[in-house]
């Protein structure tokens, strides 16, 4: 059965999987190429993940960081954007299967650029997710916003001091950039934005705990910047626990085991998980067909030209790919995707695939905000923090946001937060806070009733 909406082509068919940093860059680089592109992604938007924590803590709205992909690519006349979750890539037959609401579509390709990114890893404890959502999607950020603000609301109605203490304890697991940013922003929300807005509770008494099994905050940024970030967080009242391994997460709290063997139970309603990443399962699907290695984070080891063994037409870029010296950051995906798209263009013009130059990564550095007016930045040997770091962070994030209007609105939202601690996006709905379980139930129902026909596109 063929579904309408996907247009067959006689040209070189490029399938791009994912509309994140890698996917979008690939499509834009191929804009004027004589190819037919099908971009298949499981969301309708391109997500600027670095600002997700600001959605979760009510500073900006989700629309500012998640513009519609088909609108961004409106002028890419050679590109058709298709909604669907890719479930299989058949390397021998050169087809990609994707599913939308129980219907499976099969899309042929001549070249494929796989940029499906990574999800949250719970290190084998996936059941933690229900009580400690990660920070990877708009759904995650809105759910967390609902849980964080919902906890303050419930505390206001509670006459039991123990329950109030549990509701006003927020635990962030993982002291990488996302964990640091979340902990800092929850503390500022409690201490400034919500201060004086409740009658029964004092929001400034909320406990924010940041814990990590590693012995340092922000380990990839080095000892000096890690200590700087930790000192700033502690000044905000964040309790930092290092060498602290989470052994269990449930509705009411979290169990932690420390390096010295002692264990503690922390009663807390709101938990945020930012401790690990797991590459898209598509990496394993590809690896099994071509004999490539997959590391502990599920990333596929690619060849120097970002392809997989025996398939010069299959590029894997971004967070899914294991490439020496390339971090799981936006620049890794952007530069990898640009490289792959340029190779496709050059080879259509006659370049020989046997003589590809290997991919070279240019390290532009990394940064993380800790709080208002404070960030840490590492560019090559240069390390700095504080206000200058924060200004650099502000400038670069505005530059990389997609669309002039989004930049303008975000800049205005930031001004409101900076000048008066005002946050304009504190709306929460019951659906955002409690939808996870219901959606999972719905998906089970859809899976059990749908007819698994495959349609060509």
Give backbone dihedrals phi and psi of 51, rounded to 5 degrees, phi first: -105, 15
| 280 binds ligand FAD per the rule CB under 6 A | yes
| 370 binds ligand FAD per the rule CB under 6 A | no
| 208 binds ligand FAD per the rule CB under 6 A | no
| 179 binds ligand FAD per the rule CB under 6 A | no
Strand order in the sheet with 253-258: 244-250, 253-258, 263-267
Looking from the CA of 7 toward its CB, the CA atoms found within 13 Å total 11
CB of 140 to ligand FAD, least distance (A): 9
| 276 binds ligand FAD per the rule CB under 6 A | no
Residues 48 to 77 in contact with ligand FAD, rule: CB under 6 A: 49-50, 52
Helix (H) or strand (E) holding 445: helix 430-449
Q: Which stretch binds ligand FAD (CB under 6 A): 110-118, 162-170, 353-361, 411-419?
A: 110-118
| 133 binds ligand FAD per the rule CB under 6 A | no
Residue bearing tokens 């390290």: 363
Binding ligand FAD (rule: CB under 6 A), the pick from 174, 177, 179, 298 is: 177
Residues near 171 by beta carbon (within 8 Å), at least 6 away in sequence: 209, 211, 254, 266, 268, 270, 271, 272
Residue bearing tokens 């997989």: 308
Binding ligand FAD (rule: CB under 6 A), the pick from 38, 136, 164, 232 is: 136
| 375 binds ligand FAD per the rule CB under 6 A | no
In 249-329, where does DSSP find H-type helix? 282-290
Q: Which stretch binds ligand FAD (CB under 6 A): 18-26, 192-200, 307-315, 439-447?
A: 18-26
# residues contacting ligand FAD (CB under 6 A) = 32
- Residue 15 or 201 having the CB closest to ligand FAD: 15
Residues near 411 by beta carbon (within 8 Å), at least 6 away in sequence: 398
Residues 291, 298: Cα–Cα separation, whole Å:
14
What value, to the nearest 5°, has the Cα angle with vertex 116 and ends 137 and 99? 85
| 278 binds ligand FAD per the rule CB under 6 A | no
| 116 binds ligand FAD per the rule CB under 6 A | yes
Q: How many helices (H) and strands (E) does the chain have?
A: 13, 24
CB of 438 to ligand FAD, least distance (A): 21
Beta partners for residue 248, in sequence order: 255
Beta partners for residue 250, in sequence order: 253
Q: Which stretch binds ligand FAD (CB under 6 A): 35-43, 156-164, 263-271, 410-418?
A: 35-43
> Radius of gyration (Cα) for the chain, nearest Å?
23
Residues near 218 by beta carbon (within 8 Å), at least 6 away in sequence: 175, 176, 177, 180, 225, 226, 229, 368, 376
- Residue 17 or 151 having the CB closest to ligand FAD: 17
| 21 binds ligand FAD per the rule CB under 6 A | yes
Q: Which stretch binds ligand FAD (CB under 6 A): 45-53, 252-260, 352-360, 432-440?
A: 45-53
- Residue 86 or 206 having the CB closest to ligand FAD: 86
CB atoms within 10 A of CB 117: 25
- Residue 193 or 280 having the CB closest to ligand FAD: 280
| 86 binds ligand FAD per the rule CB under 6 A | yes
Assigned token pair, 51: 């600002």
Q: Which stretch binds ligand FAD (CB under 6 A): 21-29, 223-231, 296-304, 371-379?
A: 21-29
Distances (CA, A) of 322 to 106, 292, 306, 307, 379: 27, 11, 9, 11, 22
Q: Is residue 181 annotated as a catalytic residue, yes or no? A: yes
Residue 22 · residue 113 · CB < 8 Å: yes
Binding ligand FAD (rule: CB under 6 A), the pick from 15, 17, 172, 292 is: 17
- For ligand FAD, which residue has the nearest CB? 20
Q: Which stretch binds ligand FAD (CB under 6 A): 15-23, 232-240, 265-273, 431-439?
A: 15-23
Residue 413 · residue 425 · CB < 8 Å: yes
CB of 291 to ligand FAD, least distance (A): 22
Distances (CA, A) of 71 to 7, 78, 402: 18, 14, 11
- Residue 238 or 367 having the CB closest to ligand FAD: 367
Residue 385 · residue 225 · CB < 8 Å: yes
Binding ligand FAD (rule: CB under 6 A), the pick from 12, 13, 14, 18 is: 18
- Residue 121 or 178 having the CB closest to ligand FAD: 178
| 85 binds ligand FAD per the rule CB under 6 A | yes
Catalytic residue among 62, 181, 188, 313: 181
Q: Which residues bind ligand FAD (CB under 6 A)?
A: 17-23, 40-43, 49-50, 52, 85-86, 115-117, 135-136, 177-178, 280, 282, 318-319, 328-331, 333
Catalytic residues: 181
């Amino acid at each position: 059965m063929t579904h309408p909406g996907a247009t067959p082509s006689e040209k070189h068919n490029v399938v791009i999987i994912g509309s994140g940093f890698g996917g979008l860059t690939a499509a834009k680089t191929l804009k004027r190429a004589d190819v037919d592109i099908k971009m298949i992604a499981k969301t309708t938007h391109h997500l600027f993940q670095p600002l997700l924590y600001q959605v979760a803590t009510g500073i900006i709205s989700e629309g500012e960081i998640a513009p519609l992909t088909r609108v961004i690519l409106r002028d890419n006349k050679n590109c058709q954007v298709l909604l669907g979750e890719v479930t299989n890539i058949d390397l021998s037959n050169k087809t990609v299967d994707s599913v939308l609401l129980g219907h499976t579509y099969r899309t042929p390709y001549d070249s494929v650029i796989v940029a499906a990114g990574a999800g949250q890893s719970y290190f084998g404890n996936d059941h933690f997710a229900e009580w400690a959502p990660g920070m990877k999607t708009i759904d995650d950020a809105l759910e967390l916003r609902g849980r964080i603000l919902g906890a303050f609301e419930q505390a206001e109605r509670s006459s039991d001091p123990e329950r109030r203490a549990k509701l006003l304890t927020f635990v962030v697991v993982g002291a990488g950039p996302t964990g640091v940013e979340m902990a800092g922003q929850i503390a500022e929300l409690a201490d400034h934005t919500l201060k004086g807005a409740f009658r029964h509770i004092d929001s400034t008494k909320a406990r924010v705990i940041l814990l990590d099994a590693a012995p340092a905050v922000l380990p990839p940024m080095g000892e000096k910047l890690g200590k700087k970030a930790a000192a700033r967080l502690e000044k905000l009242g964040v309790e930092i626990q290092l060498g602290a391994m989470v052994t269990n997460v449930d509705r009411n709290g979290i169990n932690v085991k420390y390096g010295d063997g002692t264990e503690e139970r922390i009663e807390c309603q709101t938990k945020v998980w930012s401790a690990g990443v797991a590459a898209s399962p598509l990496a394993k699907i590809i690896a099994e067909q071509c004999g490539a290695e997959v590391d502990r984070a599920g990333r596929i080891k690619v060849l120097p030209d970002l392809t997989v063994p025996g398939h010069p037409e299959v590029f894997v870029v971004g967070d899914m790919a294991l490439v020496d010296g390339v971090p799981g950051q936006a620049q890794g995906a952007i530069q990898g995707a640009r490289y792959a798209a340029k190779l496709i263009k050059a080879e259509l013009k006659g370049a020989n695939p046997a003589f590809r130059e290997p991919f070279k990564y240019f390290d532009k550095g990394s940064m993380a905000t800790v709080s208002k007016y404070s960030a840490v930045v590492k560019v090559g040997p240069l390390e700095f923090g504080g206000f200058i770091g924060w200004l650099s962070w502000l400038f670069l994030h505005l530059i990389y946001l997609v669309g002039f209007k989004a930049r303008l609105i975000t800049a205005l939202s930031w001004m409101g937060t900076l000048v008066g601690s005002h946050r304009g996006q504190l709306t929460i709905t019951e659906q955002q806070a409690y939808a996870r379980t219901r959606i999972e139930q719905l998906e089970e129902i859809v899976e059990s009733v749908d007819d698994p026909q495959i349609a060509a596109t």
